[in-house]
Amino acid sequence: LAKDGGWTATLAGSRVIENDDELAQMKALADAAAKAAIVVEPYPIDVTRDGDEIRPVRYRERIRAYGPSIHPDFAKQDAAGHFKGDEEDDDAPPVFLNGV
């Protein structure tokens, strides 16, 4: 749930629940939204605050909030143009996977 009572896809706009009464109230709102097919299976997550930033405690929620756990430099890279036959890369010699 967002701070304004709506729904948000980011932690930055999320409402942090401070006590059990507030948790019960927000769970009731979330359950009603799920029943109305506005959201699917909402659930509370544990967070910490670092200044104004809200951070998930559990690794699973960090991946959901921030994306894959692999560093972009080690992720699958796009193939070079001459491997794909791009016309823009005409000056590069062709590369054959059989070594010829």
Question: Residue 1: pLDDT band by 50, 70, 90 thresholds?
Answer: confident
Question: Residue 31: what pLDDT?
Answer: 93
Mean pLDDT across the chain, nearest whole number? Answer: 80
Classify 96 as helix, strand or coil.
coil
The neighbour count for residue 1, using CB atoms within 10 Å, is 19
Say what the pTM is: 0.59
DSSP conformation class of 38: S
92: nearest Cα among 76, 83, 67, 1:
83
